[in-house]
Amino acid sequence: MIAHRMKGMFCASLLAVALAAPAAAEPVKLSLLHINDLDRIEESKARGGLARLMTLVNRERAAAEHSVFTHGGDSISPSLLSGFDKGAHIIDLFNEAELDLMVLGNHEFDFGAAVTRERIAEARFPVLGANAIDSTGTLIEGTLATWTREVGPYTVGFIGLTTPETPEISSAEGVTFKPLVETARGLSENLRSNGADLVVALAHTGIVEDLELVNGDSGIDILLSGHDHLEITYYNGQRAFVEAGSQGEKLMVVEVTMDTVESRGKQVFVWEPQFRIVSTAGVEPDAAMAAKVQTYLDQLSKELDVALGKSSTPLDSRRASVRGGETAIGNLIADAMRQGVNADVAITNGGGIRGDKTYDAGTSLTRRDIQSELPFGNRTVKLQVSGEQLLEALEHGVSRVEEGAGRFPSTSGLAMTWSRSAAPGERVKSVSVNGQPLEMTATYTVATNDFMAKGGDGYVIFTEAKTLVDAAAAKYMASMVMDFVAAAGEVAPKVEGRVAAVD
Ligand SMILES: [Zn+2]
């Protein structure tokens, strides 16, 4: 305004407008600091981890006029640590980080809704769950449908939404999930009639659902999403939509400028987003958070040495063994995967079994043993394939055995015979699934790992399969094998003709 006055009469009309505008018309900036899908508290390859993320969040908070640190869901599970404390550690760490707001993701229900409620009770930050309805017909105890924050003269309303697929991909028994767009629309109207200028949906929803919220009649302005582990910034002039990858490797900053402008004689609210994706690579970890994370990692280390159960048969995970033929340990892993997602069959690649050692009969298996056999953090996904596709996958599996290729299959629920001397692609001689001959036109459900489901080790055929449980919904293979051995107490896997070479 001072600048206008100095220009004197030339700007008289502009000056009049400026003087007429209310004091509230100064633009106000709100920084939404967003992460999603973080269950790994430690860094990996010098990225991510809560200590590095904390440094970025502190830096952004200090620089921002106003900020809200949001979490788009999926933290309580499926980390190794969560296998011991059902996710209590991560709520403790987010309390420490002074997280402002979280929405329930599907993995928040992996230990059942009773545990979800326990974790919510421990959180010192609000947890949103607008469309998650408990068996009593109300919101899950401790959750809120909406939350508002005053930002200067403006009110920003938040709505928390969770993918309605959650009952299929988690253990949310008794909880039902209301439709996303309809729920968002009702609550947006509510928030606006109660004075909200801007409406933000914090949603743990898949990309198709995200686009329904962004393009549909949801009434929202900004969508902060999760679930797909994608890095997304989107703005179409009316609505903005972001997702921040996963594991806190990057912090998504949406700087929202809010203002009041005159339009056709009326004061109207306007806003505009500006996106920044800030990497944790090269960021000095926050010392206090690093110390707290380390105490949990030390606990984990002790827990890893605990014996889960005994193998009464010898096991052999040497490289040439798991890439050259059927092995007892491969059968054990495949059995755990098949049971873990309740599939007809399981196929997993020898290249994913890494212990490279032998275990005598009677060895007590520790969590560390399983973790070192399956170190990649792969998850068990569930696909639906035809008999023809299953056969093609098995042919692929034995196609380069002479090179010791990592694709060699360990299986469960099926028995095949194959010929080493036949040409690749013609090696499989017979296949039966759970005792019945393979039918080309029948459909089968397959447990496999997320690496193979994406075409890894050349299993391109799996990229054409229908996905029933995707990587975002899946649990870690290693945890599944640990649970399997612990539940059994004693296992006795054997080579029994599942992948039997006839020559
Ligand atoms: Zn998810």
Q: What letter represents residue 478's amino acid?
A: A
Quote the ligand 1 centre to 278 CA distance (angstroms): 22
- Contact between 88 and 122 under an 8 Å Cβ cutoff? The reply is yes
d(CA 243, CA 245): 6
Bridge partners for 242 per DSSP: 224, 233
- The single residue listed with the structure tokens 């449980």 is 469
Q: Within 10 A of 265 (CB to CB), how many other CB atoms are there?
A: 5
431-439: long-range pairs with CB below 8 Å, 24+: 431/390, 431/391, 431/394, 433/344, 433/345, 433/390, 434/344, 434/345, 438/387, 438/390, 438/391, 438/414, 439/387
Domains of the chain: 2-299 (3.60.21.10), 306-501 (3.90.780.10)
Quote the ligand 1 centre to 259 CA distance (angstroms): 35
Quote the ligand 1 centre to 108 CA distance (angstroms): 9
CB environment 454-466: b (16+ within 10 A), e (fewer)? eebbbbebbeebe
- Contact between 338 and 345 under an 8 Å Cβ cutoff? The reply is yes
Quote the ligand 1 centre to 25 CA distance (angstroms): 40
Quote the ligand 1 centre to 94 CA distance (angstroms): 18
Quote the ligand 1 centre to 266 CA distance (angstroms): 43
424-433: long-range pairs with CB below 8 Å, 24+: 424/395, 424/399, 424/400, 425/395, 425/399, 426/395, 427/395, 427/398, 427/399, 428/391, 428/394, 428/395, 428/398, 429/502, 431/390, 431/391, 431/394, 433/344, 433/345, 433/390
Per-residue pLDDT at 394 = 98
Per-residue pLDDT at 471 = 85
Quote the ligand 1 centre to 142 CA distance (angstroms): 20
Per-residue pLDDT at 362 = 97
Closest by Cα among 238, 209, 239, 240 to 226: 209
Quote the ligand 1 centre to 77 CA distance (angstroms): 10
- Contact between 288 and 50 under an 8 Å Cβ cutoff? The reply is no
Per-residue pLDDT at 6 = 37
Quote the ligand 1 centre to 153 CA distance (angstroms): 35
Quote the ligand 1 centre to 461 CA distance (angstroms): 25
Quote the ligand 1 centre to 253 CA distance (angstroms): 21
Quote the ligand 1 centre to 500 CA distance (angstroms): 38
Quote the ligand 1 centre to 227 CA distance (angstroms): 4
Quote the ligand 1 centre to 129 CA distance (angstroms): 14
d(CA 305, CA 328): 22
Q: In the 8-state DSSP scheme, what is residue 237?
A: S
Quote the ligand 1 centre to 319 CA distance (angstroms): 34
- The single residue listed with the structure tokens 């994608």 is 230
Quote the ligand 1 centre to 206 CA distance (angstroms): 8
Quote the ligand 1 centre to 114 CA distance (angstroms): 19
- Contact between 64 and 165 under an 8 Å Cβ cutoff? The reply is no
Quote the ligand 1 centre to 207 CA distance (angstroms): 11
pTM over 0.85: no
Burial category of 360 from C-beta neighbours within 10 Å (exposed 0-12, middle 13-18, buried 19 and up): exposed
Quote the ligand 1 centre to 338 CA distance (angstroms): 21
Bridge partners for 204 per DSSP: 162
Q: DSSP characters for 169-234?
A: HS--TT-EE--HHHHHHHHHHHHHHTT-SEEEEEEE--HHHHHHHHHSS---SEEEE-SS--EEEE
Quote the ligand 1 centre to 450 CA distance (angstroms): 14
Return the beta strands (E) in 73-113 as ranges: 101-103
Q: Tens place of pLDDT for every residue, the chain, 503 residues? A: 333 433 333 444 444 444 444 444 689 999 999 999 999 999 988 999 999 999 999 999 999 999 999 999 999 998 888 878 999 999 999 999 999 999 999 999 988 999 999 999 999 999 999 999 999 999 999 999 999 999 999 999 999 999 999 987 788 989 999 999 999 999 999 999 999 999 999 999 999 999 999 999 999 999 999 999 999 999 999 999 999 999 999 999 999 999 999 999 999 999 999 999 999 999 999 999 999 999 999 999 998 999 999 999 999 999 999 999 999 999 999 999 999 999 999 999 999 998 889 999 999 999 999 988 998 889 999 999 999 999 999 999 999 999 899 999 999 999 999 999 999 999 999 999 999 999 999 999 999 999 999 999 999 999 999 999 998 888 999 999 999 999 999 999 999 999 999 99
Quote the ligand 1 centre to 37 CA distance (angstroms): 7
Quote the ligand 1 centre to 31 CA distance (angstroms): 24
Quote the ligand 1 centre to 226 CA distance (angstroms): 7
Which residues fall inside 5 Å of ion ligand 1, going by CB? 74, 105-106, 227, 472
Q: What letter represents residue 348's amino acid?
A: T
Question: What distances in angstroms separate CA 71 from CA 64, 68, 104, 162, 478, one per listed residue?
Answer: 18, 10, 9, 12, 26
Per-residue pLDDT at 19 = 46
Quote the ligand 1 centre to 107 CA distance (angstroms): 6
